[in-house]
Structure 1
């Protein structure tokens, strides 16, 4: 099974998602998208496969979103893709692609919906939030 994660190692959500994938028994293809950003076609394919709009795939917090005026509703997808190409940090993370689908995994536990083996055993996020308890019950 091929699993790909568009990962930012500085992001806790991305690290938690990667940990859940690995705990499922899969070593994913990890794409450090800030240094190896996907091209326009790949971004659009990910967004469409995830069932979201391009605007939903843009991160506002900790990015130049406001400075670039990306809140302007008149901007086209081409305008937004140009901004992401110039500033890859604008692409929200982590996107995960598996044979079962594509998700923007915010929150990180959304990855469980597309893993072949979502029964990963007990799991807590870095901040201590329990996602799966000792009995294997998904809490989030």
Structure 2
């Protein structure tokens, strides 16, 4: 099975999710999204497949997220594409769907 993980190697949750994918035998493509940010279109597609809103994919612990408190989805997506630290991680995509793997075990639902 192929999987793509939008990964931050400094994040323990992201590292655990990557380990779960590897242990499951997935052929994993790792995208370090802080270095290679997804586009607005990519994020929109991923969130739609995951069944979550951009607001649910927003990393609220980041100071810049406070400025987006009253923002619409399009504004949030643009902010994430410009400043990818705002993207909650890890996002994982397989043929079976997309999950925001928090907790990491959520990834098992799409393997």
| TM-score (norm. length: structure 1) | 0.75
Which runs of structure 2 are paired with 1:95-106 in the superposition (5 Å)?
95-106=91-102
| CA 63–105 in structure 1, closer or farther in 2 if over 3 Å, else same | farther
Task: Please tell me whether the aligned partners of residues 53 and 73 of structure 2 are also in contact (alpha carbons under 8 angstroms).
Answer: no
Give the superposition deviation at 1:63.
Answer: 4.4
Unaligned runs of 5+ in 1: 116-140
| CA 43–94 in structure 1, closer or farther in 2 if over 3 Å, else same | same
Runs of 4 or more consecutive aligned structure 1 residues displaced over 2 Å after TM superposition: none
**Root-mean-square deviation (Å):** 1.1
Unaligned runs of 5+ in 2: none
Residue-by-residue CA offset, 1:64-86 (whole Å, 9 max, x unaligned): 212xx1112xx222211221122
| CA 106–63 in structure 1, closer or farther in 2 if over 3 Å, else same | farther
Matching residue of 1:23: 23
Number of residue pairs aligned between Structure 1 and Structure 2:
111
Q: Distance in 1 between matches of 2:73 and 2:108?
A: 29
Computing the radius of gyration over CA atoms, which structure comes out larger, 1 or 2?
1
Q: Which has the higher contact order (CA 8 A, sep 6+)?
A: 2
| TM-score (norm. length: structure 2) | 0.94
| CA 62–76 in structure 1, closer or farther in 2 if over 3 Å, else same | closer
Within the candidate set 65, 68, 71, 2:69 is matched to 71
Q: Distance in 1 between matches of 2:100 and 2:16?
A: 13
Give the superposition deviation at 1:11.
Answer: 0.7
